[in-house]
Amino acid sequence: MRAQISQIALDLCLDAGYDSTTVEQICAAAEISRTTFFRYFTSKDDALLGDGDSVGLELLEALRERPVDEPVWQSLRHALGALSRSYASDTERSRQLITLMYSTPSLAAAHSGKHARWSPLLRPEVSRRLQIDPDDRSDPRPHALICSALSCADAAITAWIFQDTSATIDELLARAMTAVAQ
């Protein structure tokens, strides 16, 4: 049901525009009540972008599963593979959603808000891998690494929707993160 409502929301936003599409219109098209909509989603943004908190937890788990002696940047790159796999699982929908997101300032801001929530979530694990105190906010390295890696993921995803080749998001992510590491 959640996926169905999300697809209906995307279709309506693509047809009428994000700002012109209301939760009421999504509910009518999905033949559900507002109460049912809000049982599944906290907002129209949530219906389109998904549950950012659960994705953040997936990233954290993927990072924790990486070998402890692996360089942090490499661990982040592999952990971010979880994002690329989720986009690649439904290529057409992902391309439509990403295009809509980058052309809609409020959706782009909601996407950035997900990153802002993921940074403190990932910070303790990145700090541990750097062998620094996770509570030491005076060391900028964990935050810099996390934000840089997430920016590389955004760059890879953006390149993926505009490319003329068949490069995967993972390949584009590797290129972006290699460029930053040079």
Q: What confidence score (pLDDT) does residue 94 get?
A: 84
Residue with tokens 């690649």: 88
Q: What confidence score (pLDDT) does residue 166 get?
A: 81
Q: 8 with 36: CB under 8 angstroms?
A: no
Q: What confidence score (pLDDT) does residue 149 get?
A: 96
Q: What confidence score (pLDDT) does residue 174 get?
A: 94
d(CA 11, CA 181): 39
Q: What confidence score (pLDDT) does residue 84 get?
A: 76
Q: What confidence score (pLDDT) does residue 11 get?
A: 94
Q: What confidence score (pLDDT) does residue 138 get?
A: 92
Question: Where residue 151 falls among pLDDT bands split at 50, 70, 90?
Answer: very high
Whether 152 has a pLDDT exceeding 80, the answer reads yes
Question: Where residue 73 falls among pLDDT bands split at 50, 70, 90?
Answer: very high
Q: What confidence score (pLDDT) does residue 162 get?
A: 82
Instruction: Provide the CATH number for the domain formed by 51-181 in this structure.
Output: 1.10.357.10
Whether 21 has a pLDDT exceeding 80, the answer reads yes
Question: Where residue 49 falls among pLDDT bands split at 50, 70, 90?
Answer: confident
Q: What is the pTM of this model?
A: 0.86
- Give 32-43 pLDDT, tens digit per residue: 999 999 999 988
Domain-by-domain residue ranges, the chain?
1-47, 51-181
Topology agreement, domain 1-47 and domain 51-181:
no
d(CA 180, CA 182): 6
For residue 64, count CB atoms less than 10 angstroms from its CB and return exposed for 0-12, middle for 13-18, buried for 19 or more. Answer: middle
Q: What confidence score (pLDDT) does residue 126 get?
A: 97
Q: What confidence score (pLDDT) does residue 127 get?
A: 96
Q: What is the DSSP string of 55-115?
A: HHHHHHHHHHTS-TTS-HHHHHHHHTHHHHHHHHTTHHHHHHHHHHHHH-HHHHHHHHHHH
CATH class of 1-47: mainly alpha
The encoded tokens of residue 166 equal: 């068949």
Residues with Cβ < 8 Å from 76, sequence gap 6 or more? 63, 126, 145, 146, 149, 177
